[in-house]
Amino acid sequence: MSHTPTEMMTVAAARLLTNDEVCFVGIGAPSAACNLARLTHAPKITLIYESGTLSTRPSVLPLSIGDGELCDTALTTVSVPEMFRYWLQGGRITIGFLGGAQIDRFANLNTTVVGPYDAPKVRLPGGGGAPEIASNCGQIFITMAMGTRAFVEKLPFITSFGHGTGKGDREKLGVRTKGPTKVITDLCVMEPDSETSELTVVSLHPGVTREQVAAGCAWPLRFAETVSETPPPTAQELDVLRDLHARTRKAHGVAA
C-alpha cells in the first residue's frame, strides 16, 4: 500500500508511544501522531494539551489548543496555571511531542524569528508552552519535515532548549529530564549520539537514500554505524490515519 512521506513520518512517530505514556501534545504533526497511536496500538495513552485538557480523546484533529473538540472529549479540564505548575513542572508528564520551524544538530528548536531578533526576516508564532515542555517532560519527541531551511547549521534564536552545544549542557543548567531523544522526519529517524548528543540518523524510511537525507540538512549529518530501515506503514495504520484526516477536513469545512 503506497504512502506519502508525511504519512510515514506520522506512523513512525506514533509507533514510539505506548499505553503507559502521559503525553503533552503539540498541534499539527504531533497531534496526528499521538491520536493515531491512541486509535491503533495505544488506546489507553493519556493525551494532554496545553489548554488544560486531560486525557482528551478527540474524534477530529484540533485546529489549535483552544479548539472545543479538546475540552468536549477530555476527562476533565484544568486551568493553564495548574496544567503547567502541577502537571508539567511537577514531573507528571512522560513525553512531550513538539515540532518547530528550525532545528540544529543538538535538537534545539526555534519558533521565534528567522534572522536577527531585532530586525527579523520572519516573525514566527513564538514559544507558547514549548520551552517549558522541552525542559520538564521526561523526554521529548520532535516531528519535522526535512529541508535545509528547517535543519540549519546555527539557529538565529533558541526557543526550546534541546542539548545546547552538546552532551552535559542540560545538566549544567540543572535540567534533570532527558530532553530530545527522537527526531522523526519525513525521510528518517534521528537520535542524539550517546557521547556527543549530536543528532545521528539511525533509521531510513523505505526507499530513502543517505544522499537524500544529507541533502535535506544544512550541517554535515552523521549516520549511526548501523542504520536500519523503518518498517513501512501497515494497511491498518494508513486506513486509520486517512480516516482521521478525512473526518478532520469534513469537520472544518474543507472538501475531502
The x, y and z cell numbers of residue 15, run together, are 509507533
Dihedral sign from CA coordinates of 177, 37, 152, 127? negative
Active site residue 50: yes
Identify the active-site residue in 50, 132, 198, 237: 50
Q: Do the strands 113-114 and 122-123 form a parallel or antiparallel pair, or are they unpaired?
A: antiparallel
Task: Find the distance separating the first CA and the last CA of the chain, reported in whole Å.
Answer: 20
Kindly list the distances between the CA atom of residue 229 and the CA atoms of 63, 137, 205, 218, in Å, as whole numbers in the listed order: 33, 28, 6, 23
Residues 120, 157 contacting (CB under 8 angstroms): no
User: Which of the residues are catalytic?
Assistant: 50
